[in-house]
Amino acid sequence: MPEFVGHWGTLYYRDYGPDAAPAGAAREQVPTVVLLHNFMSTGRMAWGAIADDLRAGYRVIVPDLPGHGKSRGHPPGFEHRAMAVEIAALLTALGLTQIHLAGCSAGGMLAAWLLEDGLAHPATLTLVSSTYSVNPATTGIEPDLRPESFRAGATWLESTARLHDEYQGAGYFEGTLLPAFRALTPHTTLDLPLARLAQWTLPVCLIHGAEDEIFPAGLAQQMHAVLPDSELHLVPDQGHALLFRRTRVVGGLLRDFLTRRGDGPSPRD
């Protein structure tokens, strides 16, 4: 697992594939997909199965976000905009300028900052269980960021701790990562007006659980309504753990989107 030394510490990432490339094509010429995981997860835990599938035809970059998994160091308060800068520095160091970008939950918010701040210029964007703002004054919808509300199973907090403490030290999850999650605010995460999304001209794929308990589906519907070139896939009877509970569904939708839209934008039907 390679590493990149950034401003806030060391980012670890996985660099998959491609297992097959067009005849005569260098690895750098193969389309690259960058997958950003959700807060308190890791790249492998969130995207591993999907990355393994995509590597058949793509180069796939899956970092552990700052302060997550094997990545050591993070900006104060895990400020998402600063975390996005760190991800952008990694992409620059890898020489990646032509990418397809996907993010789940907080990873989607980092992707939004990469786009909004001009830190990356992806050919496509996929947002899974994500939002454009966690501020109810902006959205008119109250998110529920309490870990206790996350319907991921009775032992998910204990299982999540094991993803980090092994590399960060005993008690890191309980003493650092979980309190940081509880302390996140619109200022430290994302609070964009919908009018900004109306300026995003790239193809955007929105994949969302119809019963999302953290970011209600109305947020995805609001985004779809204003994005100039987007498609919305609401997965019935699924909550915020969509990526983990319906991995094949999410992976299939992402691959299909990349196949259809990977060559560049076109008007919405």
Q: In the chain, how many domains are there?
A: 1
Q: How confident is the model at residue 263 (pLDDT cuts 50, 70, 90)?
A: low
CATH number at residue 170: 3.40.50.1820
Q: Enter the pTM of the model.
A: 0.94
Question: Is the pLDDT reported for residue 264 higher than 60?
Answer: no
* 53 within a domain of the structure (yes/no): yes
Q: How confident is the model at residue 26 (pLDDT cuts 50, 70, 90)?
A: low
Mean local confidence (pLDDT), 63-92: 97
187-201 per-residue burial string, b: 16 or more CB within 10 A, e: under 16: ebbbbbeeeebeebe
CB–CB of 57/51 below 8 Å?
A: no
Residue 19: how many other CB atoms lie within 10 Å: 11
Q: How many angstroms separate the CA atoms of 140 and 51, rounded?
A: 35
Q: How confident is the model at residue 266 (pLDDT cuts 50, 70, 90)?
A: very low
* 266 within a domain of the structure (yes/no): no
* 176 within a domain of the structure (yes/no): yes
Share of the chain above pLDDT 90, in %: 83
Q: How confident is the model at residue 33 (pLDDT cuts 50, 70, 90)?
A: very high
Q: How confident is the model at residue 268 (pLDDT cuts 50, 70, 90)?
A: very low
Q: Counting every residue, how long is the chain? A: 269
Encoded tokens for 129? 């269980």
Mean local confidence (pLDDT), 21-33: 69
* 50 within a domain of the structure (yes/no): yes
Q: Where are the beta strands (DSSP E) in 81-198?
A: 99-104, 124-128
Q: How many angstroms separate the CA atoms of 34 and 122, rounded?
A: 9
Mean local confidence (pLDDT), 125-152: 91
**CB burial of residue 87 (10 Å; 0-12, 13-18, 19+):** buried
* 199 within a domain of the structure (yes/no): yes
For the chain, the first-to-last Cα distance in angstroms comes to 41
* 267 within a domain of the structure (yes/no): no
Q: How many angstroms separate the CA atoms of 5 and 86, rounded?
A: 9
CA–CA distances in Å: residue 269 to residues 60, 166, 177, 228, 231: 29, 48, 43, 11, 10
DSSP states of 214-267 as a string? SS-HHHHHHHHHH-SSEEEEEETT--TTHHHHSHHHHHHHHHHHHHHHTT----
Q: How confident is the model at residue 22 (pLDDT cuts 50, 70, 90)?
A: low
Domain membership of residue 225 as a residue range: 3-260
- More confidently predicted of 262 and 53: 53
Q: What is the mean pLDDT of the chain?
A: 92
* 159 within a domain of the structure (yes/no): yes
Q: What is the tens place of the pLDDT at every residue in 145-174?
A: 888 778 776 678 888 999 999 999 999 999
Cis peptide bond upstream of 203, omega within 30? no
Q: What is the pLDDT of residue 132?
A: 98
Q: What is the pLDDT of residue 228?
A: 97
Encoded tokens for 224? 């779809």
* 64 within a domain of the structure (yes/no): yes
Q: Where are the beta strands (DSSP E) in the chain?
A: 3-5, 10-16, 32-36, 59-63, 99-104, 124-128, 204-209, 230-235
Q: What is the pLDDT of residue 156?
A: 81
Encoded tokens for 244? 């983990």
Q: What is the tens place of the pLDDT at every residue in 85-112?
A: 999 999 999 999 889 999 999 999 999 9
